[in-house]
Structure 1
Amino acid sequence: MRETFHDELAQLGAILADMCAQAAEAMRQATQALLTADLDLAEQVLSADAELDAQRGRCESEAYSLLALQAPVATDLRTVLAVIYCAEKIERMGDLAAHVADTARYSHPEHAVPAELKPVFSELGAIAAQMACRVAELIRATSNDGFAELADTDQTVDALHAQVLATITGDRWPHGPRPAATLALATRFYERFADQAVSVAKRLEFAHTGALPDNGR
C-alpha cells in the first residue's frame, strides 16, 4: 500500500515538473512575442495556458484523493500538501506568462517595448524561464537545496524591475504615459513570475525539512 502511495506521489511530482517546463517555455515564447510584436506567437501562448490549468486541476484532484484514502502523516502529509500548493503557484506562473503575451497582443502591431528597454526585457524573460526550469529540476531530483539560490536570483529580477520603473518614470522618458503604464504592468508580470518560483522552492524545502526557510517571504 505504501509503495503504491509513493508511486502516486512520484507521478504527481512528474506532473509538477512538467508544468514548470511548460511555464518556462510559455515565458520564453511570451517574451519573444513581446519583443518582436509577434501576434501569432502571443496567441499560441494564450491558447496553451489552458493545458496548465488542466494539469493543476489534475494534481489537486489526485492529491485530495491521496489525503482522503491514505491519511498520510509527517513528511508524506507535507509532501501531499506541497503538491496542492505548488500546483497553484506554477499554474499562476503560466498565467503571468500569458499576461506578457497578452501585452504583446494588446500593443500589436506596435512594439510594446522600445529599443532602449529590449535588453532588459530580454534578460527578464531569460532569467524567469531559467528559474522555472530550476524549480523543475528540484522537483525531479526531490532536492531541497535550491531555495536560497532562487531567492538570490529573484533579487536580480527585482533589480531589473526597478530599473524599468526608474526609466519609464524618469524625466528623459520620451514615449509618453500610455507606453509607460503598459511597461509597468509587463515588468510586474516578470517580477511576480519570479516570486512564484521562489514560493514553490520554499514549499519544497518545507516538505523535505519540516521548517520554512525564513527570508521574509
Structure 2
Amino acid sequence: MRSTYTEKLEQLSTGLAEMCGLAEDAMDQATEALLQADLPLAEHVLATRPRFDELAARCEEQAFALLALQAPVAGDLRQIVSGIQIVADLKRMGALAAHIAKVAARNHPEHALPEEVGGHVAEMGRIAVALADAAREVLVTHDPQRAGHLQAEDDAMDDLHHHLLTVLMDREWRHGVGAAVDVALLGRFYERFADHAVQVARRVVFLATGEMPDQVVDHELL
C-alpha cells in the first residue's frame, strides 16, 4: 500500500512539473509571436490550452483522491495541499501566456509593440521563461535553497515593468491610446506570470521545510 501511495505522490509531482514546462514553452512561444508578429505561432500557443487544462484537471483529481482515500499527515499532507495550490498558480501562468499570444494575434499583421519598447518586452519574456524553468526545476528537486533564489529574478522583472510604465507616461509617446493599452496590459501579464512562478517556488519551500520562505533561515549566512 505504501509503495502505491508513494507512486501516486510522485505522479502528482511529475504532473506539476509537466504543467510548469508547458507554461514555460507557452511563454517562450508567445513572446516570440509577439516580437515577430507571428500569427501561426500565436495560434499554436492558444491551441495548447486544452492539453494544459487536461493536465491541471488530472493533477487536481490525483491530489483530491490522495486526500480522500489516504488521510495523509505531516510531510505528505503538505505535499498534497501544496500541489493543489500550485495547480492554481500554474493554470494562471498558462492563461497569462495565452493572453500575450492573443495580443499578438489580434494585432497581426502589424506588430503590437512599438520599436522603443520591444527590447524591454523581450527582456521581460526572457526573465519570465527563466523563472518558469527554475520553478519547474524546484518542482522536481524540492530544493528550498534553489527555490529561494527566484526572488532576485522577480525583482528584475518588477524593475522592467516599472520602467515600461515610465515609457508609457512619457510625453513623447506617439503611438496612441490603443498601443499604450496593449503595452500596459502586456507588462502586467509578464509581471504577474513572474509572480506566480515565484509563488510556486514559495510553496515548494513550504512543502520541503514546513515553513514559509520568510521564516526559513539561510544557514550559509550564519
TM-score range, shorter chain: over 0.9
The aligned amino acid for 1:182 is: D
Distance in 1, Cα, partners of 2:148 & 2:172 = 37
In structure 1, what is the equivalent of residue 173 of structure 2?
173
How many pairs align? 215
In structure 2, what is the equivalent of residue 203 of structure 1?
203
Matched ranges for 1:1-217 at <5 A: 1-214=1-214
Shift of 1:105: 1.1
Q: What does the per-residue CA deviation read over 1:15-66, in whole Å, with 9 as the maximum and x for residues that have no partner?
A: 1111111111100100011111111111110110221111110000011001
Distance in 1, Cα, partners of 2:157 & 2:109 = 28
Structure 1 stretch 104-113 or stretch 71-80: which is displaced more?
Answer: 104-113
Distance in 2, Cα, partners of 1:49 & 1:119 = 27
Distance in 2, Cα, partners of 1:152 & 1:142 = 19
Instruction: Detail structure 1 runs of 4+ shifted over 6 Å in the superposition.
Output: none
What percent identity do the matched residue pairs reach?
A: 45
Structure 1 stretch 206-215 or stretch 76-85: which is displaced more?
Answer: 206-215
Distance in 1, Cα, partners of 2:172 & 2:148 = 37
Does the 8 Å contact 2:148/2:205 carry over to 1?
A: no
Task: Report the aligned-residue RMSD.
Answer: 1.1
Does the 8 Å contact 1:103/1:112 carry over to 2?
A: yes
Q: What does the per-residue CA deviation read over 1:168-210, in whole Å, with 9 as the maximum and x for residues that have no partner?
A: 1111111111100110001100000000001110011111111
Distance in 1, Cα, partners of 2:7 & 2:148 = 29
The aligned amino acid for 1:168 is: L
Distance in 1, Cα, partners of 2:193 & 2:203 = 16
Does the 8 Å contact 2:23/2:90 carry over to 1?
A: yes
In structure 1, what is the equivalent of residue 219 of structure 2?
none
Does the 8 Å contact 1:82/1:204 carry over to 2?
A: yes
Distance in 1, Cα, partners of 2:142 & 2:14 = 10
Distance in 2, Cα, partners of 1:98 & 1:113 = 17
The aligned amino acid for 2:41 is: L
Look up the SS of the partner of 2:192 in the other structure: helix
Does the 8 Å contact 2:138/2:147 carry over to 1?
A: no
Distance in 2, Cα, partners of 1:179 & 1:158 = 21
Structure 1 stretch 141-150 or stretch 24-33: which is displaced more?
Answer: 141-150
Does the 8 Å contact 1:169/1:180 carry over to 2?
A: no
Q: What does the per-residue CA deviation read over 1:77-113, in whole Å, with 9 as the maximum and x for residues that have no partner?
A: 0100111111111111010000000010111121111
Shift of 1:146: 2.6
Does the 8 Å contact 2:138/2:146 carry over to 1?
A: yes
Distance in 2, Cα, partners of 1:69 & 1:88 = 22
Distance in 2, Cα, partners of 1:135 & 1:24 = 9
Distance in 2, Cα, partners of 1:193 & 1:136 = 14
Distance in 2, Cα, partners of 1:89 & 1:145 = 20
